[in-house]
Structure 1
Amino acid sequence: MTAERTWLPSSSHWGAFRAATDADGTLHVEPHPADPAPSPLLGNVPGTVRHRTRVQRPAIRRGWLDNGPGPTDARGDEEFVEVSWDTALDLVAEQLDRTRREHGNEAIFGGSYGWSSAGRFHHAQSQLHRFHNTIGGYTASRNNYSFGTSQALLPHLVGSTGVLLDHADSWQTLREHTDLVVAFGGLPGKNLSIASGGITRHTGSAALRDLGTDLVVISPLADDIPTGSGATWLPVEPGTDVALQLGLAHTLLTGGHHDQEFLDRCCTGFDVFADYLLGEHDGTAKSAEWAAAICGIAAADIRALAARMTAGRTLITVSWSLQRTEHGEQPVWAGLALAAMLGQIGLPGGGFGHGYGSMASIGDDAPALRLPTLPMGHNPVPTFIPVARIADLLLNPGQQYDYDGRRLTYPDIRLVHWAGGNPFHHHQDLNRLRRAFGRPDTVVVQETHWTATARHADVVLPATVALEREDVGAGYRDSHLIAMHQVLEPFGEARNDYDILAGLAQRLGVHEEFTQGRTPREWLVHLYDQWRGNLAAKGHDIPTFAEFWAAGDLQMPDVHPQAPLRAFRADPQRNPLRTPSGRIELFSETIESFGYPDCPGHPVWLPPQQQRGGPLHLIANQPATRLHGQGDVGALSQQAKVAGREAIRIHPRDAAARGISDGDVVRVFNHLGACLAGARVTEDVRPGVVVLPTGAWFDPQPDPVRPGETLCAHGNPNVLTADVPSSRLSQGCSGQHAYVEVELHTGPVPELRCSTPPLADS
């Protein structure tokens, strides 16, 4: 007779769930009972927590152990030697102390960026930053890869990113008020699985199917259309959305269909933008015909869409993907200007949205309130980099660069300390990043698995996964707070990040300051009680921690603050935005004063400048089978591989011209690098476009076609994407697009190395 399983609650960035183990240790997961449409990504969980790529014991790269710290080109290629925890922590503490004594705390890069856990306490990045703040600070990173370009731009235009992202109208509001949604970049359902910090109720996909509004999807990819939505698809040429937006704006302007009253009352700078649309200074009117020649959408269709936009309540939304490109500020700014011309910003279901279809929290109608958060303290080191400039930082100490009106200098980084993240997933031009990781004296990585980042470290400290510790989980606009119980014993000798850092703090004399004398469970109670007290002061009845923990979750109190754009629209004088004018800035004197040719003071069409590495336009989008690189060794992700490689989608016309059939192993290459992938031949992409999702674990091996160079045997597209900023304003990630060639791979198919730990005698 099979013993009844004991199900314990937990959570993840792709959804809350319950987990249980059998007597033989087999892990089972099932979605939270309140989730109407659980994410299929839960299927990756059982296969990852005990996978052979888990880091079992502290390990040190052979060359660093034998020769000591220093720059080297051996990182990523050498084997590791397992050591005791005392040995590893003693060595790391010694190098932290040496670096700050000899070079100052600015020489430590602790700007770790990652999605390692949905838990609010065991958030590796927060833990790492708290630790480094107790020992004198560190060089940090600012903004994110997801929408970092917008994080620099939107404060100039509307006062903050939160005005749009934190207060987006819900799908229900759109259902009740909106006549037409125009989605630049589409509304891909795969992204609605994910929310930073977790999501208990996945409602986005069903809401899109039942939206009840007209929908126009502007994207080169058919699967950016919500399933069952009946949307109109405009398969735009990749990277040309701005030209289409300007053509629509010109059509509204010359037809007299713009809302001049709203523009005068709530915006500034429209006259400058209008002159640009009319070609007053450059002699080129941004007409529908001009736009059609660039974006591949017929001029008649552009004029027809403009007419539809004026016929009722219209929402213009721009996905985050469009700003992860060269000149990525422009589609966001031009989309905002187009919405302003319609005069509906601040009306329920109308105006401008940013991120619908990019994350489950955008459009969710769950409560919006602050969550329990670990205090990180103050970083006394003022030096920082925009997050996507990590390779520049390591390769170019002392070099100056522009960022948001400031002239900054890269510090000389001697020690990198990374926890809970994998830059060899997020970053571009991975061959360049490999060279960059060779420059510091020491690289320390706290990791759960032998990712490419761990393989490029000197010291690897094994960290627990969420199911091996206790935590409290919730995302912004989540419906529930989840008591994340410990389900599994730590794998091997893995420790949670807090205990790892507490061990370093003990050796550096700051243990009490870092821990405040609390165990992880005591921290959970402390953070929860603070959160509970704050809500109680506002009249909300929240259960005690013991009651919450026993129940497994609690439903969030109904907190729905008024959207700031509603109040602004009603009275811009009394409720101004935090911009220099207090209004929406369609022309920004501040940005114009920076003198950046790649981001002038109003929306413009700027042709791409990156080198064309081939005839096909590669889109490196987010995967449907995992979160970034997390779960790549899981069952769902592995089932989607082709011949063990990441699948690349190619149009039948392009495949036939190259002798490629569905299921073939192909070589994808350009001037930056090469990778192997498995071909999926489909009409769901435009001719001339190929799609290779990010997240396949980077597996560099000797390139048989280019002697002396490497290729990724597994299919990571970031060996092909250029490490160049979106602009001098944001220095944001531009890795969404690249130009490549694809050919049939006729040589031997190499065995994957990324699934075998790089250990001595392994």
Structure 2
Amino acid sequence: MTITRAVSLCHWGAFEADVENGKLIATRPMEGSGADPDMVGAWPHMVYSDQRVSQPHVRRSYLEKGIAAGGGGRGHEDMVPVEWDVALDLVANELKRVHQDYGPTAIFGGSYGWSSAGRLHHARTQVRRFLGAAGGFTDQTGNYSWGAAHALLPHVLGTANAVARDATSWETIALHGETVVAFGGLNPKNWRVSSGGAGEFHLPEKVLEARKRGVKFFILSPHADDVPAGLDATLIRPRPNSDTAIMLALAHQALTSGRADLAFLQRYTTGSEVFCAYLRGDTDGIPKTLDWAAGLSDVPVSELNGLWEAISSGRVMLSAAWSLQRADHGEQPFWALIALAALLGQIGLPGGGFCFGYGSMNGVGADASKGFVPTMPMLPNKGMAIPVARFVDAFLEPGKTIEFNGRRVTYPDVKLVYWAGGNPFHHAQDLDRLSRAWERPQTVIVHEPWWTPTARRADIVLPATTSLERDDIGGTSRDPYVFFMPKLIDPVGSARNDIDIFRSLSDRLGCRELFDEGLDDRGWLKRLWDKSLEHGVHSGVDLPDFEELRRQNIIRIPAPLQPEVMLESFRSDPENNPLPTPSGKIELYSKAIAGFGYSDCPGHAVWIEPHEWLGSAPCGKFHLVSNQPAKQLHSQMWQVMAKGPAECRINPSDAKEHGISGGDHIVLKSGRGACRASALIDPSLRRGVLIMPTGAWYEPDAEGSIEQNGNPNVVIGDRGTSQLGQACAALSALVEIERETPAPGSF
């Protein structure tokens, strides 16, 4: 028996792999990494799952009739296995036809999701390069994770780096901080995953170290699970979507109590006069007092007074989870948090100011040197781009014009969808509406290792490899390691790497040289690593050459000389280190945004009542919080982790009123659709709130009336955050529930 061992990487951690006679037999966390053993241990089951796509497939009627078959049979008809050349010829001919007949915007480059920790074989990168080389396409801009912030922060801070890459180190919070206020919580399950993968999962220890050094924590969340074990935090449970009101009230208290740092506002911000007038009620007649916020948030004013007393002195770090901006008017809590931090005057100081995402993903606030993980270059796109969360609108309403971040975007008439990397039947909202929209394009092409809901609803499915079946380089700017990810096993079935599929298509379309520039995989990996070597020279960090990186498998980049403090250089010298905003300062009032004239996102942080929330909920409605699953990454691993319909958490009193016991099958309903779930009684949950993880594979029943696996996006509205961000607003949804007595064998 010959067993070889190697280290590789995925979004849920670095892992050691055992391969026996060419077959993956075991995976476990890399020693000392802290990765979750259940998640990284799932790889053998994933790789050899009976859900793997074994060879190219074509929907039966599409194979027989082409586009005349229409899209109504997607997800219902047989998928017919075909040879690679047959499938590739079909794809190439369709791309040629649509380009010639309708132009590049008729091709939608659908790729969204955490498809690979590797940088070369990152599906979204490869599909966008290929479609760019082939003549252009309709792209997506923004993201589901923090799309509202992606639109807002460049207006306020000059870039989106405060949510995308920068964060004050937990080390400085432990050494200098006195109070941390975490709006949206610090749920430890979110620290199990990291975009790009990671070699360290030590945020729980870093947070607890800050507590041991005397830092006080306040967590604002409807659920006690958002408080890490051992943190001894003060938990405040507001109504979901009311955080902005609390932030504004705390800012008002700072202003009226004399605590506001007026010198900081004068030197480092612009527009504070307009914002402060709003806080006082000069513009709308409503002073934003703690009593006002208590009414909106349904939190006793005594608790808000206690929170104010905690932040009225000492070094304070304000944090907001990414989830807060995935809601109606999601731009407002992030803008309000910045404004509150500005009034406290500690932005740019160690352990103080504001940060986003401490409780949203591993590595936020870890000490790591940036710029050493390479990225693939993009190609120009002759097409256009639409907001990522509005693609269902685009499919259903071609020609419609929307407002988006100061410009007007007209939806294209999409005839062909090319999807590689991601599962839209997971991350989109109102999935029954998506199902209707999915029927409209003439052709849907999908690259996928598994028979996901998206693959089952394609016309042509091309089997793709997993990251274990190819060489790559992986890592993230929030982690100190860079990995050479070796090919561990041969491709399962007849799967091919995405880049190899695109090479074959590029040959057929005459754009091969533009697409891969004459480089094989090794050539690309070496070119990418050469960029990292250049960065190492400029940074004074000695890195191994490509062959040595390959041999070592994993290298550790030295930590920065000083722990990161976000906006420290701006704080120390704003004249010589201005922000890339029009004023060079933090824009508490943005003339640009005000000039757009959006009623749903005016020129400064404001309170705007959500479309759906408990503050105006009809009797019997619940606020549904759809969060990330504890042992999955989005919908990945559902095929090996699923054990019946997903669990829905409910408060014991709410459950009793509805005659629900733990383990009962229940149905969640809204005007959008219905899904099944398994009831989990949770006394740590605020009344009126349900919590249900996303990640279940979309599976409607035969009548199409009730989704079987427990995918909450069936009941959630597909609505943009505002005209500024047009981002995902999934966390503003009201639903009804009822107990169900299932027929034997129906689950």
Aligned to 1:665: 665
Aligned to 1:757: none
Please identify, of 287-296 and 612-621, the stretch whose mean Cα deviation from structure 2 is larger.
612-621
CA contact (8 A) 1:165 1:355 kept: no
1:6 shift after superposition: 1.5
Q: What secondary structure does 2:706 align onto?
A: strand
CA contact (8 A) 1:663 1:678 kept: yes
Aligned to 1:379: 381
Q: What secondary structure does 1:160 align onto?
A: coil
Aligned to 1:697: 697
Q: Distance in 1 between matches of 2:387 and 2:255?
A: 37
1:106 shift after superposition: 1.4
Per-residue CA deviations over 1:558-589 (Å, capped at 9, x if unaligned) read 45687561121122222111111111111111
1:166 shift after superposition: 2.2
TM-score (norm 2): 0.96
Aligned to 1:617: 623
1:297 shift after superposition: 1.4
1:18 aligns with 2:24: no
Per-residue CA deviations over 1:538-577 (Å, capped at 9, x if unaligned) read 4332112222212211112445687561121122222111
Aligned to 1:630: 636
Residue identity opposite 2:485 in structure 1: M
Q: What secondary structure does 1:712 align onto?
A: coil
Q: Distance in 2 between matches of 1:588 and 1:40?
A: 47
- Equivalent position to 1:58, from 56, 59, 63: 56
1:736 shift after superposition: 2.1
- Equivalent position to 2:718, from 708, 716, 723: 723
Residue identity opposite 2:736 in structure 1: E
- Equivalent position to 2:224, from 218, 222, 226: 222
Q: What secondary structure does 1:210 align onto?
A: helix
- Classify 1:312/1:652 alpha carbon distance in 2 versus 1 (closer, same or farther; 3 Å): same
1:72 shift after superposition: 2.5
Aligned to 1:480: 481
CA contact (8 A) 1:616 1:739 kept: yes
CA contact (8 A) 1:369 1:559 kept: no
Aligned to 1:344: 346
Q: Distance in 2 between matches of 1:314 and 1:538?
A: 32
Aligned to 2:118: 119
Aligned to 2:686: 686
Residue identity opposite 1:246 in structure 2: L
Aligned to 1:555: 556
Q: What secondary structure does 1:581 align onto?
A: coil
4+ residue segments displaced more than 6 Å: none
Please identify, of 559-568 and 227-236, the stretch whose mean Cα deviation from structure 2 is larger.
559-568
1:137 aligns with 2:130: no
Residue identity opposite 1:598 in structure 2: D
Q: Distance in 2 between matches of 1:744 and 1:239?
A: 27
Q: Distance in 2 between matches of 1:328 and 1:97?
A: 40
Per-residue CA deviations over 1:143-181 (Å, capped at 9, x if unaligned) read 110001000000111111114542211111111111000
Residue identity opposite 1:621 in structure 2: N
Q: Distance in 1 between matches of 2:269 and 2:318?
A: 17
Q: What secondary structure does 1:327 align onto?
A: coil
Q: What secondary structure does 1:28 align onto?
A: strand
C-alpha RMSD of matched pairs (Å)? 1.7
Q: Distance in 1 between matches of 2:164 and 2:421?
A: 25
Aligned to 2:145: 146
Please identify, of 678-687 and 610-619, the stretch whose mean Cα deviation from structure 2 is larger.
610-619
Give 1:450-469 correspondences, 5 Å limit: 450-469=451-470
Aligned to 1:264: 266
CA contact (8 A) 2:612 2:732 kept: no
Residue identity opposite 1:176 in structure 2: L
Please identify, of 247-256 and 593-602, the stretch whose mean Cα deviation from structure 2 is larger.
247-256
Give 1:92-103 correspondences, 5 Å limit: 92-103=91-102
Q: Distance in 1 between matches of 2:331 and 2:639?
A: 35
Residue identity opposite 1:699 in structure 2: E
Please identify, of 646-655 and 605-614, the stretch whose mean Cα deviation from structure 2 is larger.
605-614
CA contact (8 A) 2:22 2:490 kept: no
CA contact (8 A) 1:344 1:350 kept: yes
- Equivalent position to 2:361, from 356, 359, 362: 359
CA contact (8 A) 2:7 2:553 kept: yes
Residue identity opposite 2:407 in structure 1: R
Aligned to 1:760: none
- Equivalent position to 2:734, from 696, 719, 739: 739
Aligned to 1:711: 706
Aligned to 2:204: 205
1:605 shift after superposition: 1.1
Please identify, of 399-408 and 160-169, the stretch whose mean Cα deviation from structure 2 is larger.
160-169
- Unpaired runs of 5+ residues, structure 1, are 704-708, 753-762
Residue identity opposite 1:287 in structure 2: T
Per-residue CA deviations over 1:10-56 (Å, capped at 9, x if unaligned) read 10011111111345945201222241454642133222111111111
Please identify, of 119-128 and 201-210, the stretch whose mean Cα deviation from structure 2 is larger.
201-210
1:690 shift after superposition: 0.7
- Classify 1:563/1:180 alpha carbon distance in 2 versus 1 (closer, same or farther; 3 Å): closer
Per-residue CA deviations over 1:42-101 (Å, capped at 9, x if unaligned) read 133222111111111101112211221154222222221111100000000000000001
Q: Distance in 2 between matches of 1:24 and 1:79?
A: 32
Aligned to 1:77: 76
Aligned to 2:413: 412
Aligned to 1:756: none
1:4 shift after superposition: 6.0
Residue identity opposite 2:444 in structure 1: V
- Classify 1:274/1:305 alpha carbon distance in 2 versus 1 (closer, same or farther; 3 Å): same
Q: Distance in 2 between matches of 1:522 and 1:10?
A: 20
Aligned to 1:759: none
Q: Distance in 2 between matches of 1:736 and 1:27?
A: 40
Aligned to 2:179: 180
Please identify, of 68-77 and 614-623, the stretch whose mean Cα deviation from structure 2 is larger.
68-77
Residue identity opposite 1:728 in structure 2: Q
- Give % identity: 45
- Unpaired runs of 5+ residues, structure 2, are none
1:47 aligns with 2:48: no
- Equivalent position to 2:567, from 559, 565, 568: 565
Q: Distance in 2 between matches of 1:458 and 1:701?
A: 21
CA contact (8 A) 1:165 1:362 kept: no
1:719 shift after superposition: 0.1
TM-score (norm 1): 0.94
- Classify 1:68/1:4 alpha carbon distance in 2 versus 1 (closer, same or farther; 3 Å): closer
Q: What secondary structure does 1:11 align onto?
A: strand
Per-residue CA deviations over 1:609-646 (Å, capped at 9, x if unaligned) read 24968511110011111000011122xx33xx4xx111
Aligned to 1:67: 65
Q: Distance in 2 between matches of 1:450 and 1:491?
A: 14
CA contact (8 A) 2:449 2:465 kept: yes
1:378 shift after superposition: 1.5
1:732 shift after superposition: 0.4
Q: Distance in 2 between matches of 1:495 and 1:461?
A: 8
Give 1:480-499 correspondences, 5 Å limit: 480-499=481-500
Per-residue CA deviations over 1:335-375 (Å, capped at 9, x if unaligned) read 11111110000111101111111111211112222422222
CA contact (8 A) 2:622 2:734 kept: yes
Residue identity opposite 2:244 in structure 1: V
Per-residue CA deviations over 1:447-473 (Å, capped at 9, x if unaligned) read 011111111211110001111111111
- Equivalent position to 1:321, from 320, 323, 347: 323
Q: Distance in 2 between matches of 1:83 and 1:471?
A: 29
- Classify 1:184/1:457 alpha carbon distance in 2 versus 1 (closer, same or farther; 3 Å): same
Per-residue CA deviations over 1:206-241 (Å, capped at 9, x if unaligned) read 111222210000000111111111111001111111
